[in-house]
Amino acid sequence: DAGITQSPRHKVTETGTPVTLRCHQTENHRYMYWYRQDPGHGLRLIHYSYGVKDTDKGEVSDGYSVSRSKTEDFLLTLESATSSQTSVYFCATSLQGDALYEQYFGPGTRLTVT
């Protein structure tokens, strides 16, 4: 998994509670991403980061925020979890560079909101 870890790997939480997922990489990759994966859907981009403290929204960013204070860590926060946010969340990283678009994925976090 190219030195990408996610924590926790599993989480059950109640509606309305805040949740933070962590992605940690040891590859010194500049770019980091958060995706969600749901049955019948492809991976959908939530937020991404192109450097420390530089982040931008993806296609399904509502209800999520991110922070990146260090190159190696990218945090995803569900401000007030809802049942529609039950999903598997994947972090990914990629190198900077015109030819280097390949994204390396972490093992995922299964989040259940009850």
Partner 1 sequence: GESVGLHLPTLSVQEGDNSIINCAYSNSASDYFIWYKQESGKGPQFIIDIRSNMDKRQGQRVTVLLNKTVKHLSLQIAATQPGDSAVYFCAEKGGSWGKFQFGAGTQVVVTP
Residue (80 or 90) nearer to partner 1, CB: 90
Site string for partner 1, 9-48 (x = CB under 8 A): x---------------------x-x-x-xxxxxxxxx--x
**Rounded to whole angstroms, what are the CA distances from 43 to 14, 69, 70, 97?**
24, 25, 25, 23
Shortest spacing between CB 76 and partner 1, in angstroms: 15
Residue 95 interacts with partner 1 (CB under 8 A): yes or no: no
Rounded to a whole number, what is the distance in angstroms from the first to the last CA of the chain?
A: 30
Residue 22: CB minimum distance to partner 1, A? 15
Distance CA 21, CA 29 (A): 19
Does position 71 interact with partner 1 (CB under 8 A)? The reply is no
Report DSSP letters for 1-69, one per residue: -TTEEEE-SEEEE-TT--EEEEEEESS--SEEEEEEE-TTS--EEEEEEEETTEEEE-TT-TTEEEEEE
Min dist. Cβ of residue 100 to partner 1 (A): 10
Closer residue to partner 1, CB minimum distance, 38 or 79: 38
**DSSP annotation of 72:** T
By the criterion CB under 8 A, which residues form the site for partner 1?
Answer: 1, 4, 9, 31, 33, 35, 37-45, 48, 50, 58-59, 88, 90, 92, 94, 101-110
